[in-house]
Structure 1
């Protein structure tokens, strides 16, 4: 009797080939509902048996540090508010499943036809999401008047000259002895007027 035994490696290879066949599409959602749509879509894929057509759903986010009321707070910020990425094999049924998910407004594409994005674009987005060093989210703008709250220039008033979000630093022009002098300060050392 001649029977074929399927090995674990063959099953994994088949699954890998199936997921490689899918392409990435951008789906527009109501802004602020990305996580809810992602969770709902994942549940619908499982419940309705579309795991062979829809493989991956990503809400592109990035860790940032927000300075609010003098405190640093790590926050996950949406890179593309109102959009999620879906890796899928596009069929009428898979399109309908995604399109009828509550909170989804449309696929991004030409006319009514969804257009896939390149693998390079997805890799760039994923690389950006995984970058280790979080960015500081500045609550300040260049030219804004601020009061220095800490350090040797405490209680001085100044104007923001430049913002470095990667370091969480501001360059503030402070009037000392009648001259504008640039002073580098941490986001936590200044307050808006």
Structure 2
């Protein structure tokens, strides 16, 4: 019996059915690169008007001079030429009397940074500010700082270390957080080679000594203690000596 022409033949058992397509799995997104604060500050500085100059003052009077200059800018109405006055500071951990202590320290003792457009009016306003002894550079035409120099002074060194540590860790595929934490543990030590101290602990307590080595990583100093008329090297912790 013949099959009608308009009848659809069913597929044979051996025929293959098309496989269902599986949805493609999206590739995991790459972790964002850590923000480089140094590059960020550099870009910001390039957008600001004026250039940065350094003025000299007396050590210890930097903040007073900053206030004096900002007041003169308002009184003399030279805000169109003098834009910003900065006394760069950084937070460091110093070892004083064997104990760590966070302190704010001036990056450039005796100097102030001024962002300004240099002309006769702005030069006179700055130069005649009480406490200012002059511009750094040529007296009549001081040279501005480079962007690299400004970043070096305005960006706290701790932040620079963190940025460098993060960049190195990212390149090596290591933990950025751990690298930043390690870079933050650096300590500024208030001990110097050749400095006289008093031993506060151990068998040589109360004896005067002279520092011959400072080991910041191990938080130790090597001192020379006079015993029976001879200088003997002794290794002590930061908390075992005290400055005279």
State TM-score, norm by structure 1.
0.70
RMSD between aligned residues: 3.4
Matched, 1:183 2:235: yes
Counterpart CA distance in 2 for 1:21 and 1:108 is 20
Equivalent pairs counted in the alignment come to: 174
1:159 alignment partner, SS class: strand
Change (3 A) 1:120 1:148: same
Task: Report what 2:210 is aligned to.
Answer: 159
Task: Report what 2:190 is aligned to.
Answer: 137
Contact 1:18–1:52 (CA<8 Å) still a contact in 2?
no
Counterpart CA distance in 2 for 1:53 and 1:18 is 17
2:109 alignment partner, SS class: coil
Once the two structures are overlaid, the 10-residue window that deviates more, 52-61 or 155-164, is 155-164
Which of 107, 127, 133 aligns to 1:105? It is: 133
Contact 1:41–1:101 (CA<8 Å) still a contact in 2?
yes
Once the two structures are overlaid, the 10-residue window that deviates more, 17-26 or 33-42, is 17-26
Task: Find the structure with the greater CA-based Rg.
Answer: 2
Q: Which runs of 5 or more structure 2 residues have no equivalent in the other structure? A: 1-43, 160-183
Which of 83, 96, 107 aligns to 2:111? It is: 83
Deviations 1:153-183 (A, max 9, x none): 451744322124677542224589x994541
1:117 alignment partner, SS class: coil
1:52 alignment partner, SS class: coil
Task: Please state which structure has a larger fraction of its residues in strand.
Answer: 1
Which of 67, 71, 89 aligns to 1:61? It is: 89
Task: Report what 1:11 is aligned to.
Answer: none
Counterpart CA distance in 1 for 2:87 and 2:130 is 16
Matched, 1:37 2:65: yes
State TM-score, norm by structure 2.
0.58
Contact 1:174–1:182 (CA<8 Å) still a contact in 2?
yes
Q: How far 1:85 sits from its partner (Å)? A: 0.7
Which of 200, 205, 222 aligns to 1:171? It is: 222
Change (3 A) 1:169 1:64: farther
Change (3 A) 1:146 1:106: closer
